[in-house]
């Protein structure tokens, strides 16, 4: 099939409007909107921007429309993508989306109705992720320009710091790790797992105390650095993405320090908790620490991950990759744990200077009944 494109004209306004109206009728929570006002806004938007719309042709026949533009937030947006019924399920929509994404070196976003599961599935297959819910009826979905996982951006940050001969964070271990190990009688016969070991500041301390630890991180640079820094423990470090991989064993004690706050999307946070749930022994415990003061809720834009930014470092200013962050309240933190069948044994606020002034923590165990 030969797909070509042309500029829309005033004669196309009515059909694009009918498409938008049909979507609203099918998927919007009508009782929650001023229906006539919304339709009026849609009509004016299309009329005003019709010269920016593109007509899609399949083998010379008009097959649909789309509007790809930079919106008022300076983001590239795919809007009003409509493939005529007789041309659907022929890969035309996917071709248009790939064309838009390949045309720019920045993230691309779009709105989609939550109830339009068919469209959501298509966008996910093409690398889009849900980043926000709007008015309980629509998702904002975004696709990074190169499809990289936003939470892997620390790998590039580590590379930049290590190339300058410095570590990104300090080598001061998080006090609560050894405190929990001692308080809950974790012994040298137990099997321990560090999720997101980073540059090894906590795993190094645990290993020096003689514990049987597997230390993991999604960053290949972090693991390389740890092996070079601690050659005597080289076999204890390995690359692992806990959101997409599993291990063939369970552990007596799992700890993840300042990891879960790097996961912004609900699905990714659930994946983190589920990894702990499935890899923790029935009588084991896990320690989860996340940035936060127990009250503030905020999150970064994951589409900005990997963007270079200037940051202060003890060695001087450094241009490094932006990373992601989502801070939640204790109420949200506890709700997430409960939803993933993790029971809180102990919780509180701690710190790990000089890197983290305030960390929420929870010691948890798996819920095995009910």
Q: Is 225 in contact with 200 (CB distance < 8 Å)?
A: yes
- The pLDDT tens digits of the residues spanning 165-205 come to 999 999 999 999 999 999 999 999 999 999 999 999 999 99
* Topology at the third CATH level for domain 3-143: Aminopeptidase (3.40.630)
120, exposed or middle or buried, with CB in 10 Å at 0-12, 13-18, 19+?
middle
Q: Is 218 in contact with 155 (CB distance < 8 Å)?
A: yes
- CA dihedral sign, ordered 204, 224, 160, 129: negative
Among 30-34, 186-190, 282-286, the least confident range: 30-34
Give the contacts of 219 (CB within 8 A, at least 6 positions apart).
152, 154, 155, 158, 198, 239
Task: Calculate mean pLDDT across residues 215-244.
Answer: 95
Report phi then psi at 33, rounded to 5: -130, 160
Among 66-70, 151-155, 215-219, the least confident range: 151-155
Task: Calculate mean pLDDT across residues 32-38.
Answer: 91
- The pLDDT tens digits of the residues spanning 80-92 come to 999 999 999 888 9
Neighbours of 151 (CB within 10 A): 22
Which has more pLDDT, 1 or 145?
1
Q: Is 153 in contact with 303 (CB distance < 8 Å)?
A: no
Q: Is 226 in contact with 203 (CB distance < 8 Å)?
A: yes
Tokens of 91: 């890969």
| Rg of the chain (C-alpha set) | 25
Q: Is 178 in contact with 172 (CB distance < 8 Å)?
A: no
Query: Which of the 8 DSSP states describes residue 243?
Result: T
Whole-prediction pTM: 0.65
Domain extents in the chain? 3-143, 150-366
Q: What is the CATH number of domain 150-366?
A: 3.40.50.150
Flag whether pLDDT at 227 surpasses 60: yes
Residues 62 and 55: their CA atoms lie apart, in Å, by 7
Flag whether pLDDT at 100 surpasses 80: yes
Q: How confident is the model at residue 127 (pLDDT cuts 50, 70, 90)?
A: confident
Q: What pLDDT, on a 0 to 100 scale, did the predictor assign at position 225?
A: 97
Flag whether pLDDT at 144 surpasses 80: no
């Amino acid at each position: 099939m030969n797909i070509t494109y042309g500029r829309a004209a005033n004669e196309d306004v009515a059909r694009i409007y009918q498409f938008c109206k049909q979507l609203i009728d099918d998927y919007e929570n009508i009782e929650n909107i001023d229906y006539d006002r919304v339709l009026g806004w849609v009509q004016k938007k299309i009329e005003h921007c019709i010269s920016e719309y593109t007509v899609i042709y399949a083998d010379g026949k008009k097959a649909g429309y789309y509007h790809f533009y930079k919106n008022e937030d300076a983001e590239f947006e795919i809007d009003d993508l409509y493939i005529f019924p007789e041309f659907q399920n022929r890969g035309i929509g996917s071709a248009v989306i790939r064309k838009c994404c390949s045309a720019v070196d920045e993230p691309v976003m779009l709105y989609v109705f939550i109830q339009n599961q068919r469209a959501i599935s298509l966008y996910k297959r093409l690398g889009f992720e849900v980043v926000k819910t709007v008015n309980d009826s629509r998702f904002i979905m975004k696709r990074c320009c190169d499809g990289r996982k936003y939470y892997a951006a620390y790998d590039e940050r580590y590379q930049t710091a290590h190339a300058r001969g410095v570590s990104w964070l300090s080598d001061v271990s998080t006090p609560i790790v050894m405190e929990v190990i001692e308080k809950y009688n974790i012994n040298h016969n137990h099997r321990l797992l560090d999720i997101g070991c980073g540059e090894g500041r906590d795993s190094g301390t645990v290993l020096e105390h003689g514990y049987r630890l597997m230390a993991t991180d999604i960053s290949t640079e972090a693991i390389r650095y740890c092996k070079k820094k601690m050659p005597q423990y080289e076999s204890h470090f390995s690359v692992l993405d806990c959101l997409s991989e599993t291990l063939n064993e369970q552990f007596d004690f799992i700890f993840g320090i300042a990891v879960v706050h790097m996961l912004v999307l609900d699905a990714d946070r659930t994946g983190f908790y589920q990894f702990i749930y499935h890899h923790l022994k029935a009588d084991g415990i896990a320690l989860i620490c996340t940035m936060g003061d127990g009250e503030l809720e905020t999150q970064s834009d994951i589409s900005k991950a990997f963007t270079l930014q200037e940051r202060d470092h003890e060695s001087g200013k450094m241009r490094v990759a932006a990373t992601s962050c989502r801070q939640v309240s204790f109420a949200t933190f506890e709700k997430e744990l409960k939803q993933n069948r993790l029971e809180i044994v102990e919780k509180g606020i701690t710190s790990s200077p000089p890197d983290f002034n305030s960390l929420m923590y929870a010691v948890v165990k798996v819920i095995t009944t009910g």
